[in-house]
Structures are given as structure tokens and as C-alpha cells.
Amino acid sequence: MSIREKARQLFAEGVDGVLAFKRTDGVCIPHLFTKTEVEEICKDVPADQRYPVAGIVRRIFLSGLAGKIGVVARGCDERALIELGKQGQIDFDLLSIIGVACSEEQARYCECSKPYPSRIDVGSRFEGISVSEKVRAVESMEGDERLAYWLAQFASCLKCMGCRNICPVCYCVECSLEDENLVRRGSVPPDWPVFHLLRAVDMASRCIDCGLCEESCPSGIPLRTLYKKATEIVKELFDYEPGADMTQRSPLGTIGDQSELPGGAFEA
Amino acid sequence: MMSEARGSSVKIPDDVRIVAFLCNWCSYAGADLAGVSRMQYPPNVVGIRVMCTATVSPYHVLKALQMGADGVLIAGCHIGDCHYLKGNYMTYKRYLILREILRFAGINEKRVRLEWISAAEGEKFAEVIRSFTEEVREAGLSPLRKNEVIKSEFGEKLKNAFRSLEVVK
Ligand code: SF4
Ligand code: SF4
Ligand code: FES
């Protein structure tokens, strides 16, 4: 089934709009289509262009538009939508997902562990990469070597905020990265470790591993490797995976019970 | 108390510098007791009183490291004894995550420690400070020291940086 056909079907079922792609000057860009525009919907998903779809959905809801919408979503987009739904940023129940499976090539490039959404409408399923070679490569370094590696990487940060701005699960109105008490104003590169590890700490229980931050970074800093590790840590400690499941509670979003604390809370 | 006592007159050029976030309801009192009973602990600690360890965000720990602290201690009520019932659950969870992130970033995670010390455990407080100082000395001066923002007295800087956390002057 093509995306356009699927969108037609959703409109027949009563959605008010469909967030899909529109070809403009040879480039596919996200667009919220109404029923009358359905013929303009790109049949396919742009292979190598990705967008923070969930972030766009959040802004659609923020703009006050109330209604049901269909959303073309890859695996990571769906995870971001689930995460945003859990955090009360969007109403997940108002969404109908048009699921797109990523190509093997895309999945390998992303080292994506689940390159498909829960239901696939377009594309065929590739199982995904369970172990990130990039994370393992950093882990295999000695402590000092790792420090030198990250220091060198972050030395080229321009503090453009691109990584934060594109992140579909970053939505705070007041951002700690802009808090002068934490990160000094007017210095580039920004203070390390506070700037980057602050973000890593926050992403540990939220990052859905879309990799858009790294792709948008003008300095090519391997941010995804850092956040992949951060989420691995949370997975290991709390068996929690951001965006995996609407019913799983975030360990940092809820206080929980003593029995849920990882072992050794008493000797800590 | 401690931060006042270790004012700008004390110079500690070559030893490790430790920031200790102390919960008002337990460890801060424990620190007092340690002082009252004249127990010895090294003069290289800047104590910051907080109303619960849950108010110590990983941000604050990172900021302390950023500013050149060689070690950061968070000391609070035992699990089950938190004045706000479950505040320290969050402290514990965040601490576990932060440590691993520090390790991955190449910052010796032993520079950060979480301890549960009740108000009655003055002796434990002194012991924790002593052993933590030893451990941080082993780790050496922080490689992040060159990040220091202001070259003035360590305690003064921290007091300013964490002004917002000082609930009781
Ligand atoms: S990979 Fe980057 S942009 Fe995507 S969710 Fe994680 S932190 Fe945000
Ligand atoms: S996108 Fe890259 S250069 Fe820009 S703030 Fe993030 S890490 Fe720094
Ligand atoms: S009140 Fe002491 S840790 Fe919460």
C-alpha cells in the first residue's frame, strides 16, 4: 500500500488531517494535508531525508488544533510519539500511525535496534542492529583515552543548540542549557562536561535514538553514541526503554516503590 | 556551617577539593556532630546544605566537576528515613545513571559518591569524608580543573554558584 492510499483510507475513517510529505522543488518536506489535498501526498517516504515528525505533531497540538490526525512514522518517529504521549505532551489516542519500515541500509547507518513501527504499512521489515559498534568502540578505550576522545569531540561544539532544537523529545519551555547558573553565556565551545553531559543525563530516560541530533550537528559530534550509551545504562538499571511501550513507566518520571530500586540501595 | 568555617582564609592549593551536598535532616547534622566530637576530617571540603538530597540534581554535580571539584559527595538520609519519604529514591536513581555516564565520558566515576548518613552517625560521617578523600586523592586532581571559570578561592566560587541552593543562610 502506498502512503497516499493509506491516507485516503484514514480520511474515509474520519481523520481531520494527515501529516505526510509533499514534494516541493524536488525536496520532500513534511506537510499537514487536508482531505482535499490528498492527491499531493508523496507516495513514498523520502529515503534519506528524515524529520522530527513527533516534534511537529507536538507543535500541531500546541497550536490548538484539536482533531484526529494520521501521521507517517518510522520506528523512531513512533517511539518519540509514544514517549511524548507518556509525558503528556501529545494525546497519542488522537493519532493514527501510517507505519513505515526503514531500509536495511538506513537501519545499518543508524545502528537502529528497531527500524520499524509496531504496524508496518509501507516497506518491509529489517530486524535491526542490537549492538552498537560505535558505543563498544568508545567503551573499549581506557578512561583517559575516552576523556581525550570526548574532549576533542566537544571542543568543536558551536553551541548552536541544533541538537536540542531538533530533538523530538526535548520540549521543556525553560531549558537548563540556557540557565546561566549552569552554563556560562557567551563562551564557545560551551563548558564541558556540564553542557553535554547535562543533556546526556536528561536523555538517558527519554532518547528514542532517532539520531537527528547527530545528523544536524554542524561539527559532526557523535552525540548519538553518547545518548545510545545513556539509554543503555537506563535499560540495564531499570529495564526501561524510552518509547518502547505506552504502559511502561519512566524510572525518572515516577518515584516508584522501594522494591523497584536497583539492588544495593542500602550500601550505596 | 562547614562552608563558613572553611572560609576564604584557608588555602588548600595542592590537595583534592571536595564538594559535599549534605541533607539538612541527617548528614548535615551528622557533620555537626563530627565537628562537635572533635573528629578529624580533612580541611578540603566545602559543604552545601540542601533540604533533601533529591534537590541535588545531576546538573549540580556536573557543575561542581565543571568548576574544578575533584570529588563530589552527596550524603543523605537512609532509604526509608528521608524527611520527604521517598526523595532519596530519586537521588539514588539519578546517581546510578550519572556515575555510568561519567564513566563513559572518561571521568573517573569514583569522584562522585552517594552515602546514607543519619544525624546520629557523626562517626560515620567523619569516616566517609576520610575514605572518600583518600579515594579522590588516588584518582588525582581532576583533569577538568583547567575548566575553572574563576581563579578565585574555591569555597567562595562554590558558594556563589550554589547560592540558589542555600536554603538557610
Ligand atoms: S537521538 Fe538525539 S534527537 Fe533523537 S531522541 Fe535521542 S537525543 Fe533526541
Ligand atoms: S548541534 Fe553540535 S555544534 Fe550545535 S550545540 Fe549541539 S553539539 Fe554543539
Ligand atoms: S530529607 Fe534527607 S535525603 Fe531526603
Q: Is the pLDDT of residue A234 over 80?
A: yes
Amino acid identity, position A115:
P
Residues 4-43 of B with CB under 8 A from A: none
C-alpha cell at A87: 509525558
Domain boundary assignment for chain B: 16-168
Average pLDDT, integer, range B4-23: 67
Written as one string, the DSSP assignment of B51-110 is: S-GGG--HHHHHHHHHTT-SEEEEEEPPTT-BTTBSHHHHHHHHHHHHHHHHHHTTS-GG
Whether this prediction's pTM lies above 0.90 is answered by no
What is the distance between the alpha carbons of residues B99 and B110, in angstroms, rounded to a whole number? 8
pLDDT tens readout for residues B56-111: 999 999 999 998 899 999 999 999 999 999 999 999 999 999 999 999 999 999 99
CB atoms within 10 A of CB A63: 9
Is pLDDT larger for residue B118 or for residue B160? B118
What is the distance between the alpha carbons of residues A207 and A187, in angstroms, rounded to a whole number? 27
pLDDT band at B8 (very low <50, low <70, confident <90, very high): very low
CB–CB of A70/A60 below 8 Å?
A: no
Say which ligand is closest to the CA of A218. 2
C-alpha cell at A256: 516508584
Q: B93, A191: Cβ pair inside 8 Å?
A: no
Instruction: Please report residues of B whose CB lies closer than 8 A to that of A251.
Output: 93
Specify the DSSP element, H or E, that contains B138: helix B122-139
* Share of residues in chain A with pLDDT > 90 (%): 82
* Global ipTM: 0.93
> What is the rounded average pLDDT for all residues in chain A?
93
What is the distance between the alpha carbons of residues A205 and A228, in angstroms, rounded to a whole number? 11
Residues 102-141 of B with CB under 8 A from A: 102-108, 114-116
pLDDT at res. A12: 97
pLDDT band at B123 (very low <50, low <70, confident <90, very high): confident
Task: Report CA A115 to chain centroid distance, whole Å.
Answer: 12
Report all structural domains of chain A as residue ranges with CATH numbers, in order of start: 3-110 (3.30.420), 133-252 (no CATH)
Q: B79, A265: Cβ pair inside 8 Å?
A: yes
pLDDT tens readout for residues A30-65: 999 999 999 999 887 877 788 999 999 999 999 988
Quick one: A64 exposed, middle or buried, by C-beta within 10 A (0-12, 13-18, 19+)?
exposed
pLDDT band at B167 (very low <50, low <70, confident <90, very high): very low
Q: Of A42-51, A139-148, A248-257, B45-54, where does mean pLDDT reach its minimum?
A: A42-51
Q: Is the pLDDT of residue B149 over 60?
A: no
CB–CB of B18/B46 below 8 Å?
A: yes
Average pLDDT, integer, range A214-233: 96
The angle, 0 to 180 degrees and rounded to 10, between the axes of the packed helices B87-104 and A194-203 is 120
What is the distance between the alpha carbons of residues A18 and A21, in angstroms, rounded to a whole number? 9
Instruction: Please report residues of B whose CB lies closer than 8 A to that of A234.
Output: 97
Tell me A108's DSSP state. H
Specify the DSSP element, H or E, that contains B137: helix B122-139
Q: Is the pLDDT of residue B7 over 70?
A: no
Mutate to test the interface with A, among B93, B114, B115 (most CBs of A within 10 A): B93
pLDDT band at B150 (very low <50, low <70, confident <90, very high): very low
Q: Which residue matches cell numbers 513512533?
A: A78
- Cβ pairs A/B, distance under 8 A: 112
CATH architecture for residues B16-168:
3-Layer(aba) Sandwich (3.40)
Q: HSE on the CB side for A185, CA within 13 Å?
A: 4
Which residue, among B46, B32, B43, has the nearest Cα to B166 in the 3D structure?
Answer: B46
CB atoms within 10 A of CB B129: 26
What is the distance between the alpha carbons of residues B133 and B125, in angstroms, rounded to a whole number? 12
Sort strands A69-73 and A27-33 into parallel, antiparallel or unpaired: unpaired
pLDDT band at B9 (very low <50, low <70, confident <90, very high): very low
Would you call B165 an interface residue with chain A, using a CB distance cutoff of 8 Å? no
pLDDT at res. A165: 96
CB–CB of B12/B137 below 8 Å?
A: no
CB–CB of A115/A201 below 8 Å?
A: no
Is pLDDT larger for residue B151 or for residue A51? A51
